[in-house]
Amino acid sequence: MAIYLDNNVGLKIATVDLSEYVTSITLTQTFDEVETTAMGATAHQFSKGLEASTLTVDFLNDWAAAKVQATLQAAYGTSVTAIVIPVKGTAVSATNPTYTVSILVNNLTPVGTGGPEDFARSSMTFTCTSAVAYSTTTPF
């Protein structure tokens, strides 16, 4: 399963499965670059610093209990666990790993965007407050 349609990504936030409301998701893993250039160097040198990853999600809004807005509103201002799997409903494996991370729910778009003919949507980027854990065995 090296190549797949990106139409069945799974997302849980604070143990609530919000997958059916996700229209786009991007987990970006990055590290700070710490400059370690010393005298006599002919180019800048860098070392890996702290992880500084983000999780960006576009949601279709739903205000029902245990859905998008209720889950995010309850988590607002706190760090909660998020789990992402590339293909939901398929066994976790080397070709379908899970990514687990703690995210700071530091922004909300409860009313969302769109016009009279659009579904209510929200686009949010969460700062990761832990390293991203990659696993071929942790269940979704």
Residue bearing tokens 């988590």: 75
Whether the pTM exceeds 0.85: the reply is yes
pLDDT category at 7 given cuts 50, 70, 90 is confident
pLDDT band per the 50, 70, 90 thresholds, residue 2: low
Q: What is the pLDDT of residue 54?
A: 98
pLDDT of res. 112: 74
Complete DSSP assignment for 68-124: HHHHHHHHTTSEEEEEEESSTTS--BTTB-EEEEEEE-----SS-B--TTS--EEEE
Q: CB neighbours (10 Å) of residue 22?
A: 18
What pLDDT digit, counting tens, does each position of 23-78 carry? 999 999 999 999 999 999 999 999 999 999 999 999 999 989 889 999 999 999 99
| Higher pLDDT among residues 84 and 112, named by residue | 84
At 60 the pLDDT is 92
HSE, CB side, 13 Å, CA atoms: give it for residue 137. 0
Write down the pLDDT at residue 120: 85
- Looking up tokens 């991007």 gives 26
How confident is the model over 92-136, as pLDDT tens digits? 999 999 999 999 999 988 777 777 878 888 999 999 999 999 999
What pLDDT does 63 receive?
A: 87
